[in-house]
Amino acid sequence: MDRINYEQDIRPLSEFRAGVSSCLKQVTESKRPLVITQHGKGVAILCDVGEFEAMQTRLELLEEIYKAETQINEGRGIDHEEAKNMVMKGLKP
C-alpha cells in the first residue's frame, strides 16, 4: 500500500458523502488509502480490497515471526538440524 498523499487523500465526511464514487475511483486507481475526517479528526480509512488483503497477509506473517522469536527466547525452539529432519521426513513419499 502506498503512503498517504496529505494533499489528496484526506477528505471531510461531507465531501466523501457528496462524491462517494469519485473517492472509490481514487482509492482503486491510486492504491492509496483515503482518510475520512469528521470535525477535523480522522474517523475512518477507505482502502482498496487487494491492498487490504496484502496488508493482512503481511501482518499475519509478522505475528508468526514475533511468536516464533518469543518461543525461541523462552527456550521452546528446536535446532536447525532437527527442523530440517522434520521437514525432510514430510517430503519423502
pTM of structure: 0.68
Query: Which are the contacts of 32, defined by CB distance < 8 A and separation ≥ 6?
Result: 1, 2, 3, 4, 5, 8, 9, 26
CA distances from 19 to 14, 25, 34, 49, 76 (A): 9, 10, 13, 19, 54
The enclosing H or E element of 41 equals strand 41-46
| Selection from 30, 72, 68 nearest residue 47 by Cα | 30
Task: Report the topology of domain 1-74.
Answer: YefM-like fold (3.40.1620)
Give the pLDDT confidence of 23-63 residue by residue, as tens digits: 999 999 999 999 999 999 999 999 999 999 999 999 999 99
pLDDT in the model for residue 93: 66
